Amino acid sequence: MKKFIAWISSMRLAIVLIAYLVATCIAATLVPQGLSEEAYDAMYPRLVALLVVQTGFGRFFSSILFIIPAFLFFANLSACTVKRLVREARKKRGRRHGPDILHVGLMALVVGSVWSFSGHRQGFVTLSPGDSVNLPGGSVLHLDDFRFERYPDGRPRDWVSVVTVLEGGAPVLEKAEIRVNSPLRYSGLTFYQASYEEAPALALADPAGGEIILAQGEERVVGGTAYYFMSPEADGIRAVMRVGAGAEGKTVRAGPGDGVGELEVVGLRAGLATGIEAVSDPGYPLVMVALALIALGTAWTFAQKLKEGV
């Protein structure tokens, strides 16, 4: 038992495991993960493709090539930490707890990283202003506006999605902005401004002269009648619409000046749609705490060494 404890807590084992994990993790980032055998055959020579598939390197972070060494590294860190804590606790003076904090931080980092990997979820949605999407837990993300900002010389500056989060129909977060370098975090989800695309929109005029804008795929009820913009026609002038709801709805093709129900078609407009990526990373807070502990332990260790040197 003593030999096993000495082996599992040895510095030599730690160095070997760290070198292995660093080298294989770097290599894994160079190999696309989770593809089919046919995809690897198309990318690499047959022998290399077989090695990637048969060794599990195509799914490295969920294979025994990663899990067993990572578990051994965690056990090594745990054993080293316990041995150090016991040794330092027996000292009456000159205790050095910087390395202990550093080790605890590394252990937390391993746990947080595994938690992040196993619980990581992400999704992508394209929204036009006025669109909404349901979120986990029953809340709703509504896109109020989308702006494409430019510098005075015309160069792209930023893409900004203005959103409202609703729960039970009531807003709990209003007019929040999602920018390229400024994601929105809410209820365990992080929302990123991922992309944008041009999306056709249809302008309609009501009897009072007011303008109604429908994004493609959007339905609006006006005066008790539902108007649904299906798509623009190939000529880029007329629009395909459904007027009315359910079985009573009729598909019509209308261009500028045509009447549809109580409304009049003004024309097609070039609108913008935003691409928002939502990421759930349950291990993120623990990883941040781990990095703080690592920084604290490192600083404490150097501070003690400098003090002793003086």
**pLDDT tens profile 222-234:** 888 999 999 999 8
Between 51-65, 87-101, 203-217, 259-273, the lowest mean confidence (pLDDT) is in 87-101
Share the mean pLDDT of the chain. 86
β-pair type (156-167, 170-179): antiparallel
Residue among 134, 125, 245 at smallest CA distance from 193? 125
Burial of 265 from C-beta contacts in 10 A (0-12 / 13-18 / 19+): buried
In the predicted model, what is the mean pLDDT of residues 154-180? 91
pLDDT value for 150: 86
pLDDT above 60 (res 310): no
Higher pLDDT, 306 or 54: 54
Q: What is the pLDDT of residue 187?
A: 85
Residue 56's region, left for phi above 0, alpha for psi from -120 to 50, else beta, is left
pLDDT at 91: 74
- pLDDT of the residue at 253: 92
166 vs 5 pLDDT, higher one: 166
* Cβ neighbours of 218 (radius 10 Å): 16
Confidence of residue 94 (pLDDT cuts 50, 70, 90): low
